[in-house]
A and B are shown apart, each in its own frame.
Chain A
Amino acid sequence: MAILSKEEAKKILEKVVGFSKADGIEANLNGNDGGNIRYARNSVSTSGEDSNVSLNVQSYVGKKVGSASINEFDDASLEKVVRRAEELSRLAPENSEFMEPLPQQTYGVESKTFIESTANITPDYRAQAAADSILPASKKDITAAGFLEDSRGFSSLMNSKGAFAYNKTTGVDFTVTMRSNDGTGSGWVARNFNDVSKLNTAEASAIAMEKALQSRNAKAIEPGKYTVILEPNAAADLLGLMLFAMNARQADEGRSFLSKKGGGTKLGEKIVDERVNIYTDPWNEEVPTGNWAGNGLPRKKMDLIKNGSVANMIYDRYWASLKNAEPTPFPGNRIMEGGTASIEDMIKDTKKGVLVTRFWYIRAVDPQTLLYTGLTRDGTFYIENGKIKHPIKNFRFNESPVIMLNNLETLGKQLRVASGGGPGGGGSSLIPAMKIRDFTFSSLSDAV
């Protein structure tokens, strides 16, 4: 039941909209089948599956809105949920920011977000994928802890103004941490795909194992400002926080890193190195995403940062209507243009620096400057005269992605990374490795 076809979803939604007696109605019908396996101490710890389909109905009378949901789909249930939403809308306080549903929209071609092989993952597949990671580790005096999560789902929307949208998607997300049994080395790797046939947990695990072995017996070096080579996952974490903060309303209200002293915003202004180009594109082959956003707006290719300048901010429909701006569909993916340099090339080109596998526990310190703190984790190495000299103890950093992207030295090759929230959760990103000068490490950590 969890995955309805476009026609099946449309048929149910047409009935729902047909039952409406309020000023208007919008209905979302979504379903998801998910499965996961988790392992630690070289053994499976938990594993499970879940399944759900639900219909959410939003009815409105003037600016009073009521919502109700149901997971039964016979005619009587569909009518019941519509009546319940209508009743609630009459009782609701007025929401002065309520926007009527969108009229019929034109969506671009469907992206290739649904892959049959991923939709057909079984408990046996997951158990084998975990075994392919655990068995090599146990032969090398290493302990594996990992997690594989897969999902297949669909989402659809219809409203009384004539809009209808449908998308189905699959995703698989895999991470593993390999720790040397003497407790002094740790390595990590992450993989994120729509198509599970691209996933090889043995190949990914080998990388994490190598990092675990190489990072044993790390030495302490003084905190301070260093040139860093950030692997794509490390770069993506900080970058994502900046992109997530590009909300137009907050900028206009004066409480954003994009607000300007004296009033106004930095839209159109150069804020980072001019080699920085970041955009969203639902049809990108590496990171395809749905061709419409949750509120029904069509997604299209859109620049966020163009040649180092703020190209677009994210306007919700209410704020766009007040500011005479185009509303922005929330990006389903983020792509930063990269270069041709491999990590090895960047290391060769570095006199003194630090190679960072990933960051951990990143939290905002100051929203005004987008200052974040966090730590390096699972493979941090000292580079001297073009070579990795030795593993180093982890650092705490205090840095802003805005300052980081102003201190850009080299852009490397792109990698698909998860943007958080599991497979398909926060969307995926295509982010390059990058070399950054003067990255601020403020203290040492003993953590391995």
Chain B
Amino acid sequence: MKRRDFIQLAGLSAGAMALPFSGFAQEVDIAHMLTPLLDTAKKKQLADVALNTAKGLGASYTDVRIGRYLNQFVTTREKKVLGVTNTESFGVGIRVIANGTWGFAASNNVTPDGIKRTTEKAVAIAKANSKFQKDPVKLATTPSYGEVSWKTPIVKNGFEVPVKEKVDLLLAANAKALEKGASFVNSIMFLVNEQKYFASSEGSYIDQDVHRTWPNFQVSMVDRQSGQFKTRAAFSAPVGMGYEYLDGRSEDKIQGPGGIILYNKSYDMIEDATMAAEQAKQMIAAKSVEPGKYDLMLEPSHLWLTIHESVGHPTELDRVLGYEANFAGTSFLTLDKWQSKKFKFGSDIVNFMADKTQVGSLGNVGYDDEGVKCKSWELIKDGVLVNYQAIRDQVNIIGQKESHGCCYSQSWSDVQFQRMANVSLQPGRQPLTPDQMVAGIEKGIYIVKDGSFSIDQQRYNFQFGGVLFFEIKNGKIEGMLKDVAYQANTNEFWNSCTQICDERDYRLNGAFNDGKGQPSQSNAVSHGSATARFNGVNVINTGRTI
């Protein structure tokens, strides 16, 4: 299903919550979703049809992905259920190397005959393109794993939770927000299950069952008198967990500065909706910010997006090399900076890990979509750029022999390519709480939750907004601000990082729908951090009159 169809299907209009989607999804009933389509033996048989066909046609490498992608989304607004939609997308994607060139074809005809024809198409495409290929594809070696499997360690499969329970939860959250004076509430429960079978001509047969969950809402307050409106988004995170994320356990709640409640490994949607309505009112009444330099204190539900854009993307090797030049762009982290082994990306306390193994994260899988076992690795160590994110056909360019295991495709119908792993800022080594951080700031702003975001195509210049902005004066929270956005240069910004709270404050946030590639594909990725401080950042006022 293309994005435009999805939007129609979901009944969403402009300004509605952005949702991810997967290729050629069809609506199905829940009983069907909970029934396995094919057992692994059958999938292996089908995959072997592609592997043998491609070999017979002269392909030097082949991988096959038989994928079943299930989504469920329940949407409501105020007291109404707008839709309960279950979708399934099932098909096969076949990638080959022939004459040193990639070819890819996909089909929803998952029969021996359909797979054979799709394989022939993939080989024909590779051969057509090889006429203009300068450098033959070089794949880093990866072990043959034989027949293996992996599953997201979920406690409760969200697809098995009755729809009524989800509808009741969303409507209860809406009711709380309305009771507290909200003008409008939209809420959604989004569940994803990727059942992926991978086989390659190198002898790996990998069966994976990946789950993700994302409860979300937007509470809007309209002040007709002044003509103002503000929206407070949910403080939930999309997670690589099951429905247990909705348990709202007390040990996962964090009392933040400014009287706010934040969430860690589980989420209390009703409590958050109640607070959202109260805070949306305060957002309208807030003081418009005075532009200038401030020390920013960025909370993890905000900082993840700054990390994503300014650290995650520029450390992707395909961007550095120019493969994304026509769309997402290139990167300021050029190879010479990495080769120098002393490029100061950030201050000494800045350490970033890339990771595909972190439990609860969106990027967590056992093996990537080209059969490489996942791992974690350092990107920035003590402020210095030490590595990139790379996959099998590119890692040789930086003289490394092993793929980092971060190849992904959003569906069977799209070709896999390098996608961002979870990229996370490591917590501070010295004991420090957010309250202690506030106490040390003379003139600052505490920013909670991601808002507006924009960054240039080489990831130098960025601008970020947020949802809640608290003014900090002489070590104390003074009240809310509005019309706040900060602009900085990535390198200067990370070098201005002077404090990071310790691991007690470390939390994951992220997105279901990071876009990259042509045709554009979505990737789900998490970013962890503790609250961090950045000194002397330029803040602009975004208030206008039209």
Taking beta carbons and an 8 Å cutoff, which residues of A are in contact with B? 30, 36-38, 40-52, 54, 56, 67-71, 84, 87-88, 92-97, 123-124, 126-127, 130-131, 134, 143, 145-147, 149, 175-177, 179, 188, 244-245, 247, 249-250, 253-255, 257, 259-263, 271, 294, 316, 360-371, 373-375, 377, 394, 396, 398, 400, 402-403, 421-422, 425-426, 442-448
Q: Which residue of A lies closest to B230 (CB)?
A: A368
Q: Is B458 an interface residue (CB 8 A)?
A: yes
**Residues of B within 8 Å of A, CB-based: how many?**
90
Tell me whether A38 and B518 are in contact (CB under 8 A): yes
Write out the residue numbers on chain B whose beta carbons fall within 8 Å of the beta carbon of A363: 452-454
Write out the residue numbers on chain B whose beta carbons fall within 8 Å of the beta carbon of A175: 326-327, 518
Contact among B121, B132, B225, B226 for A134, CB-based, below 8 A: B132
Write out the residue numbers on chain A whose beta carbons fall within 8 Å of the beta carbon of B122: 48
- A363-B452 Cα distance, complex, nearest whole Å: 6
Q: Which residue of A lies closest to B458 (CB)?
A: A447
Write out the residue numbers on chain B whose beta carbons fall within 8 Å of the beta carbon of A94: 81
Write out the residue numbers on chain B whose beta carbons fall within 8 Å of the beta carbon of A37: 129
Tell me whether B455 and A421 are in contact (CB under 8 A): no
Tell me whether B323 and A40 are in contact (CB under 8 A): yes
Write out the residue numbers on chain B whose beta carbons fall within 8 Å of the beta carbon of A124: 128
Tell me whether A127 and B132 are in contact (CB under 8 A): yes
In the assembled complex, 11 residue pairs joining A and B whose CB atoms fall closer than 8 Å, in A order, are A40-B325, A41-B323, A51-B107, A68-B26, A147-B326, A360-B329, A366-B543, A366-B544, A371-B544, A445-B456, A446-B458
Q: Which residue of A lies closest to B23 (CB)?
A: A50
Write out the residue numbers on chain B whose beta carbons fall within 8 Å of the beta carbon of A370: 546
| Shortest distance between the CB of A346 and any CB in chain B (Å) | 25
Task: List the 10 closest A-B pairs by CB distance, nearest first.
Answer: A261-B227, A69-B26, A445-B461, A145-B325, A447-B456, A447-B458, A254-B222, A145-B326, A48-B104, A147-B518
Contact among B13, B132, B415 for A131, CB-based, below 8 A: B132
Q: Which residue of B lies closest to A241 (CB)?
A: B14
Tell me whether A123 and B107 are in contact (CB under 8 A): no
Query: Contact string, B213-226, partner A, CB cutoff 8 A, digits 1/0?
Result: 00000001010111
Tell me whether A48 and B105 are in contact (CB under 8 A): yes
Tell me whether A50 and B124 are in contact (CB under 8 A): no
Query: Which of A124, A361, A364 has its CB near the most chain B CB atoms (within 10 A)?
Result: A361
Q: Is B376 an interface residue (CB 8 A)?
A: no
Tell me whether A425 and B2 are in contact (CB under 8 A): yes
Contact among B229, B453, B460 for A368, CB-based, below 8 A: B229
Q: Which residue of A lies closest to B90 (CB)?
A: A71
Write out the residue numbers on chain A whose beta carbons fall within 8 Å of the beta carbon of B452: 363-365, 373
Query: Which of A69, A92, A444 has its CB near the most chain B CB atoms (within 10 A)?
Result: A69
Contact among B183, B487, B519 for A253, CB-based, below 8 A: B183
Query: Contact string, B174-190, partner A, CB cutoff 8 A, digits 1/0?
Result: 00000000011000000
- A143-B330 Cα distance, complex, nearest whole Å: 12
Tell me whether A316 and B13 are in contact (CB under 8 A): yes
Tell me whether B220 and A255 are in contact (CB under 8 A): yes
Tell me whether A127 and B15 are in contact (CB under 8 A): no
Q: A147-B518, A261-B227, A425-B4 are in contact. Are A247 and B546 (CB under 8 A)?
A: no
Tell me whether B81 and A93 are in contact (CB under 8 A): yes
Tell me whether B454 and A371 are in contact (CB under 8 A): no
Query: Which of B228, B323, B326, B545 has its CB near the most chain A CB atoms (within 10 A)?
Result: B326
Q: Which residue of A lies closest to B102 (CB)?
A: A46
Q: A67-B85, A250-B15, A361-B457 are in contact. Are A400 and B544 (CB under 8 A)?
A: yes
Contact among A88, A259, A394 for B29, CB-based, below 8 A: A88
Tell me whether A396 and B544 are in contact (CB under 8 A): no
Please provide the chain B residues from 1 to 43 with a CB less than 8 Å away from any CB of chain A in the complex. 2-5, 8, 13-15, 23-24, 26-29
Tell me whether A442 and B327 are in contact (CB under 8 A): no
| Shortest distance between the CB of A269 and any CB in chain B (Å) | 12
Tell me whether B545 and A373 are in contact (CB under 8 A): no
Tell me whether B415 and A46 are in contact (CB under 8 A): yes
Write out the residue numbers on chain A whose beta carbons fall within 8 Å of the beta carbon of B124: 123
Write out the residue numbers on chain B whose beta carbons fall within 8 Å of the beta carbon of A448: 458
* Extra inter-chain contacts (10) besides given A45-B102, A262-B224, A366-B543, CB under 8 Å: A97-B80, A249-B13, A253-B222, A262-B225, A369-B544, A369-B545, A371-B542, A375-B461, A421-B4, A425-B3
- A354-B543 Cα distance, complex, nearest whole Å: 25
Query: Which of A46, A177, A244, A253 has its CB near the most chain B CB atoms (within 10 A)?
Result: A46
Tell me whether B461 and A444 are in contact (CB under 8 A): yes
Tell me whether B227 and A365 are in contact (CB under 8 A): no
- A371-B543 Cα distance, complex, nearest whole Å: 9
Contact among B133, B229, B518, B519 for A43, CB-based, below 8 A: B133
| Shortest distance between the CB of A295 and any CB in chain B (Å) | 8
| Shortest distance between the CB of B407 and any CB in chain A (Å) | 12
- A100-B47 Cα distance, complex, nearest whole Å: 45
Write out the residue numbers on chain A whose beta carbons fall within 8 Å of the beta carbon of B519: 36, 149, 422
| Shortest distance between the CB of B324 and any CB in chain A (Å) | 7
Tell me whether A176 and B326 are in contact (CB under 8 A): yes
Tell me whether B325 and A48 are in contact (CB under 8 A): no
- A38-B326 Cα distance, complex, nearest whole Å: 9
Tell me whether A369 and B457 are in contact (CB under 8 A): no
- A179-B167 Cα distance, complex, nearest whole Å: 51
Tell me whether B227 and A247 are in contact (CB under 8 A): no
Tell me whether A179 and B322 are in contact (CB under 8 A): yes
Tell me whether A403 and B106 are in contact (CB under 8 A): no
- A37-B332 Cα distance, complex, nearest whole Å: 26
Q: Which residue of B lies closest to A92 (CB)?
A: B84
Tell me whether B322 and A446 are in contact (CB under 8 A): no
Query: Which of B105, B125, B163, B224 has its CB near the most chain A CB atoms (within 10 A)?
Result: B125
Write out the residue numbers on chain B whose beta carbons fall within 8 Å of the beta carbon of A373: 452, 454, 463, 485
Tell me whether B13 and A143 are in contact (CB under 8 A): no
Write out the residue numbers on chain B whose beta carbons fall within 8 Å of the beta carbon of A45: 102, 323
| Shortest distance between the CB of B100 and any CB in chain A (Å) | 11
Q: Is B427 an interface residue (CB 8 A)?
A: no
Contact among A52, A255, A260 for B24, CB-based, below 8 A: A52
